[in-house]
């Protein structure tokens, strides 16, 4: 497999393949199929030179661009996908995916105003005589409800067959709720057993219907919570704007995180979310200026740890126990070089709430008065800092524990003490969100029963 990430790749269009794309007056993207001249050209991918394959790379990039322009720029109609050269099975799949991914904006009456997009090849591999491709997508936009910049990065995996008349036979997006729940988590399309043509069609169709039905229920539930918030009747599960009172057996009085610390954390997140080499969140001193290694499976929580450093917190301890939170500087990941809490979702939560820690260890700490666990209400009071997310799916992916950490980087005010949070996260430089509404990216479960579909949240405030 070859790594090809370079934005200039679209300029290298082979003479054997010409792709055209244009936006019509109503904003729908039209894409023509490749046109061949009367020259000799290999009729199998395996016999093509890299230069000849470049045209197919551009073809794939334009196909991905067509989908996202349809989603972001056009009227969000599935008819716009008719221009994509896909099999009928893939077309039906993408139509359902488009409906799913545009429903939240439609139902809550806001728009995502497209600013720009990057669509570039990452990797490719020839499998028998099919072409496997990974295309990086980075989209920037603004919500009509906000002046803040928002965006996301994803990797789209595509299979192309029939070189003389190319057609897309599979399409899967990493970190996509729809794809994960309908197809399965973290599928690798370089393995043929994961191809859509090799998966049970009836099961896929059943999961598509269930996914769309769940979204309708989730949106209806969220609207109910929104109306309660506007009437001042919503119970967020934690105190709101109440002064702290020291309980008789408490050793110290928790304090709110300062606005300066919170702003520094948010600034770090919005500056480093898509960097190939993120900066350290620390600003000096052996305990805070820790290198960002970006090599963990749970990269989202390592990102949060560096956000904490940017907020002025210090690493704690040097042993992998429940009382420690650290990454040894200049020590690549390995046994003993970091605590489980540094990059582990559940381990970080256990560290934050551990009451056996010293009161002055300098590390981040849970503010229990302003935090909640296992809630399906996707709103905050404005006092929360990070959110951990549990995938409560019923279909292709059902991880039993909390599996994702994100930082709050903005809010939309629904009522004085009720906010719709915007979240930022990263796992790698090609998989991230910045300032995305929590309930649009991770729609809530209609109840907190395990396996009921959707997501549950830990709303975590620091002190």
Q: Among the listed ranges 307-311, 324-328, 350-354, 391-395, which one has the minimum average pLDDT value?
A: 391-395
pLDDT digits 0-9 by tens, 278-300: 999 987 655 577 889 877 666 89
Residues 6+ apart with CB under 8 A from 401: 345, 346, 390
Report the b/e string of 140-149 with b at 16+ CB within 10 A: bbbbeebeee
Q: What is the biggest distance separating any 2 CA atoms in the chain, rounded to whole angstroms?
A: 88
pLDDT digits 0-9 by tens, 162-218: 999 999 999 999 889 899 889 988 899 999 999 998 888 888 999 899 899 999 999
Task: Indicate whether 307 pLDDT > 90.
Answer: yes
Torsion over CA: 276, 280, 283, 286 (sign): negative
Residues 6+ apart with CB under 8 A from 367: 254, 256, 257, 383, 461, 462, 463
Helix axis angle, 88-107 relative to 201-230, nearest 10°? 10
Q: How many CB atoms lie within 10 A of CB 193?
A: 8
pTM for this structure? Answer: 0.87
Assign residue 451 a region: left if phi > 0, alpha if psi is -120 to 50, beta otherwise? Answer: left
Q: Above pLDDT 90, what percent of the chain?
A: 60
pLDDT at 189: 97
Q: How many CB atoms lie within 10 A of CB 175?
A: 21
Q: Where in the chain are the domains?
A: 2-199, 237-463
Alpha helices in 325-372 (DSSP H): 340-343, 345-352
Check if the beta carbon of residue 419 is closer than 8 Å to that of residue 411. yes
Check if the beta carbon of residue 61 is closer than 8 Å to that of residue 50. no
pLDDT at 76: 64
Task: Indicate whether 414 pLDDT > 70.
Answer: yes
Q: What share of the chain is helix, strand, coil (3-state, %, to 5)?
A: 30, 25, 45
């Amino acid at each position: 497999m070859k790594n090809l990430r370079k934005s200039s790749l679209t300029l290298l269009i082979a003479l054997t393949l010409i792709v055209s794309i244009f936006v019509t007056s109503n904003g729908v993207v039209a894409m023509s199929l490749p046109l061949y001249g009367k020259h000799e050209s290999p009729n199998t991918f395996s016999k093509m030179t890299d230069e000849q394959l470049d045209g197919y790379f551009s073809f794939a990039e334009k196909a991905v661009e067509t989908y996202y322009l349809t989603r972001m720029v056009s009227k969000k109609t599935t008819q716009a996908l008719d221009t994509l050269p896909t099999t009928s099975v893939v077309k039906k799949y993408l139509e359902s995916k488009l409906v799913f991914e545009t429903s939240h904006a439609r139902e809550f009456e806001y728009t995502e105003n497209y600013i720009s997009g990057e669509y570039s090849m990452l990797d490719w591999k020839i499998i028998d005589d099919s072409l496997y491709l990974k295309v990086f997508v980075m989209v920037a936009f603004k919500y009509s409800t906000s002046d803040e910049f928002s965006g996301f990065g994803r990797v789209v995996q595509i299979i192309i067959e029939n070189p003389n008349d190319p057609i897309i036979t599979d399409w899967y997006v990493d970190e996509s709720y729809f794809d994960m729940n309908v197809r399965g988590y973290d599928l690798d399309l370089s393995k043929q057993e994961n191809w859509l043509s090799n998966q049970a069609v009836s099961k896929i169709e059943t999961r598509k219907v269930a996914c769309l039905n769940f979204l309708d229920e989730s949106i209806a539930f969220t609207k109910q919570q929104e109306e309660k918030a506007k009437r001042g009747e919503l119970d967020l599960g934690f105190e709101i704007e109440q002064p702290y009172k020291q309980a008789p057996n408490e050793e110290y009085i928790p304090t709110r995180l300062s606005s300066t610390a919170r702003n520094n954390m948010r600034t770090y997140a919005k500056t480093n979310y898509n960097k190939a080499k993120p900066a350290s969140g620390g600003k000096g001193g052996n305990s805070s200026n820790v290198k960002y290694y970006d090599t963990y499976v749970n990269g989202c929580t390592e990102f949060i740890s560096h956000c904490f450093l940017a907020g002025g917190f210090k690493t704690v301890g040097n042993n992998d126990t429940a009382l420690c939170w650290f990454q040894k500087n200049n020590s690549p990941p390995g046994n003993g070089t970091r605590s489980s809490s540094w990059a582990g979702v559940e381990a970080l939560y256990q560290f934050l709430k551990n009451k056996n820690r010293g009161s002055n260890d300098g590390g981040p700490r849970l503010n229990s008065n302003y935090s909640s666990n296992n809630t399906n209400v996707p709103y905050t009071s404005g006092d929360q800092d990070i959110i951990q997310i549990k995938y409560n799916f019923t279909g292709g992916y059902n991880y039993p524990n909390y599996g994702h950490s994100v930082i709050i980087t903005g809010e939309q005010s629904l009522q004085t003490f009720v906010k719709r949070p915007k979240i930022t996260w990263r796992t790698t430089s090609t998989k991230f969100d910045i300032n995305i509404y929590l309930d649009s990216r991770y729609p809530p479960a209609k109840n907190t029963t395990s396996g009921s579909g959707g997501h549950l949240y830990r709303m975590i405030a620091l002190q």
